[in-house]
Amino acid sequence: MLRRDMFRAGLAGAAGLFGLSRANAATAGGKLKVAYHLSDADKVNFVLGNIKNHYEGTGGNVDIVLVVHGPALSAFKAKGASGATSSRFAGLVQQGLVPQACGNTLRGMDITLTDLLIGFQLADKGGVVKLAELQSQGYVYLRP
C-alpha cells in the first residue's frame, strides 16, 4: 500500500471517529438533541413541518430547540400570525419544542416576548450565539 493511500485511509478513519463521537454527544441520555435554525420568513411553514416530522419519526424521543431570528420572527407575532402557523406552533410546543427568539431581533423590531406566540423564550445574547451554545452542548445543528 502506498504511503499516500495509508494517509488517506487514516484520515477517513479519523473523520469517521469524529463523526461518531458527535453523534454520541447528540444522543446523550438516549434522546437526540437537535437545534433548528430559522431566519428566512418564507421557510417558516417548511421548518415547522420538518420539526413535526422529526417528532413523528423519532416517536418523540428528541429534544428540539428552534432558534428564530431575523425576518422569520415576524411570522410568530401573535397579532399577525396565520391560523395555520399558530395552530401548528402550539402543537409543537405541546410536544416539547423549545422556541428561542433572538434578543437582538426583538430589540430591532421593537417588540417583546409577549408580542409573540405563547411558548417563546428569550435568546438574550442573540440567536447565533444561542445556536453556538447549543452546538457546544452536543445539539445537532439543522438549517433547512
**Is residue 49 located within the same domain as residue 23?**
no
Query: What does the pLDDT average to over 18-34?
Result: 63
**Is residue 120 located within the same domain as residue 75?**
yes
pLDDT at residue 15 is higher than 90: no
Query: How large a percentage of the chain has pLDDT more than 90?
Result: 78
Give the containing element (helix H, strand E) for 140.
strand 140-142
**Is residue 107 located within the same domain as residue 78?**
yes
* Strands 140-142 and 121-123, bridge-based pairing: unpaired
* Strands 98-102 and 32-38, bridge-based pairing: unpaired
Instruction: Determine the pLDDT at residue 20.
Output: 43
Strand order in the sheet with 32-38: 121-123, 98-102, 62-68, 32-38, 140-142
Alpha-carbon span 41 to 69, nearest angstrom = 10
Question: 134 lies in which domain range?
Answer: 31-142
Instruction: Determine the pLDDT at residue 29.
Output: 64
Instruction: Determine the pLDDT at residue 67.
Output: 98
Instruction: Determine the pLDDT at residue 52.
Output: 97
**Is residue 45 located within the same domain as residue 102?**
yes
**Is residue 35 located within the same domain as residue 10?**
no
Domain count, the chain: 2
Instruction: Determine the pLDDT at residue 26.
Output: 60
**Is residue 43 located within the same domain as residue 64?**
yes
Output the nine-digit C-alpha cell for 54. 422529526
Query: What does the pLDDT average to over 12-34?
Result: 57
**Is residue 54 located within the same domain as residue 85?**
yes
Q: In this structure, what CATH number is given to the domain that contains residue 68? A: 3.40.1260.10
Instruction: Determine the pLDDT at residue 12.
Output: 43
Encode burial over 90-115: b for 16+ CB neighbours within 10 A, e otherwise. eebbeeebbbbbbbbbbeebebeeeb
**Is residue 21 located within the same domain as residue 9?**
yes
**Is residue 134 located within the same domain as residue 65?**
yes
| Per-residue confidence band for 8, with pLDDT thresholds at 50, 70 and 90 | very low
| Per-residue confidence band for 38, with pLDDT thresholds at 50, 70 and 90 | very high
Q: DSSP 3-state helix, strand, coil percentages of the chain (rounded to 5)? A: 60, 20, 25
Alpha-carbon span 119 to 99, nearest angstrom = 7
pTM above 0.95, yes or no: no
